[in-house]
Amino acid sequence: MFNIFKKKTNSNTSIEIDYNNIPKHIAIIMDGNGRWAKKKNLPRTFGHKAGVETIRKIIKECNRLGIKYLTLYAFSTENWKRPKDEVNALMTLLVEYLKKEFDELNKNGVVINYIGDISKLPKTCQEELIKAKRNTINNKGVVMNLALNYGGRAEIINALNSLISDIKDKNSKNITISEKDFEKYLYTSGMPDPDIIIRPSGEQRLSNFLLWQCAYSEFWYSDILWPDFSEADLHQAIYDYQNRDRRFGGI
Ligand code: IPE
Ligand code: IPE
Ligand code: MG
């Protein structure tokens, strides 16, 4: 039996979401901050700041909707190519965000987690992330995975290297690895694959995001820029997802 009813969002929009079919895992490529700032004749960093405001709204709404995992692509392995000033501003914003938002996130039961090779981030970022993770690990709300210095290819290679180093008898010719064995070495070990990948900003590419995990994810694109992304857009994405036919290769 479906229990469909109208849910009002903060942004005064109503859309019919099926609360019996809420995706377990939503992943978002938070894109378009730079273009948002450019449109307003502001420096790109203003776009990143505005993007943080959107993060705050969307986590709150995901938590309220009962979504179990929210993975946010915040900094890719390729984003180091950006000008030093922009990279530094992003790292500073991350530390400020964790410091400023910690109490509120913790109060709302959010589990703060990260995926990616954080050892390449500035020490202050690493410390804040480790502390936030440690202090929220027993919370019961949405797990927020911040993808930082994350790349899907790097993740797979990292998993492969860890797996090789765990193989005891390296001379054995009889080693077979299953998908399940391999997944244990990914950053997302123990988490369900994303049901839906959302990318605002008009781009229709993965940009090295969750390459292994997105095998059967539904993609949802929108021209809206991340700083303008609202609870209503999230509802629309969930609604559209619920109206897709996921066959997983079956009929
Ligand atoms: C996403 O916005 C934020 C990061 C990649 C860190 P962009 O900075 O990529 O914004 P655009 O794509 O230039 O508009
Ligand atoms: C993807 O956005 C990475 C993040 C949102 C963190 P980019 O803006 O870096 O991706 P491309 O360069 O348009 O593919
Ligand atoms: Mg971009």
What domains does the chain contain, in order, with CATH numbers? 6-242 (3.40.1180.10)
Give the integer Cα–Cα distance in Å for 4 and 105.
29
Does position 3 have pLDDT exceeding 60, yes or no? no
**Burial class of residue 83, CB neighbours in 10 A (0-12, 13-18, 19+):** exposed
Cβ(227)–Cβ(53) under 8 Å? Answer: yes
pLDDT digits (tens, 9 = 90+) for 67-100: 999 999 999 999 999 999 999 999 999 999 999 9
Binning pLDDT at 50, 70 and 90, where does residue 56 land?
very high
Exposed, middle or buried, 121 (CB in 10 Å: 0-12/13-18/19+)?
Answer: buried
Query: 149-194, pLDDT tens digit by residue?
Result: 999 999 999 999 999 999 888 777 888 999 999 999 999 999 999 9
Is any ligand 1 atom within 6 A of the Cβ of residue 207?
A: no
Ligand 1 within 6 A of CB of 34 = yes
Mean pLDDT in residue range 207-229: 98
Q: Is 71 annotated as a binding residue?
A: no
Active site residue 79: yes
Is 199 one of the annotated binding-site residues?
A: yes
With a 6 Å cutoff on the Cβ, whether 94 touches ligand 2 is no
Find the 56 Cα to ligand 1 centroid distance in Å.
17
Active site residue: 21, 63, 79, 208, which one? 79
Per-residue pLDDT at 9: 43
pTM value? 0.94
Query: What is the distance in A from the centroid of ligand 1 to the CA of 29?
Result: 9
CB atoms within 10 A of CB 101: 18
- Report which of residues 16 and 76 the model is more confident about: 76
Tell me the two tokens of residue 44.
């790109």
* Short-list 100, 8, 86, CA closest to 45: 86
End-to-end CA distance of the chain: 22
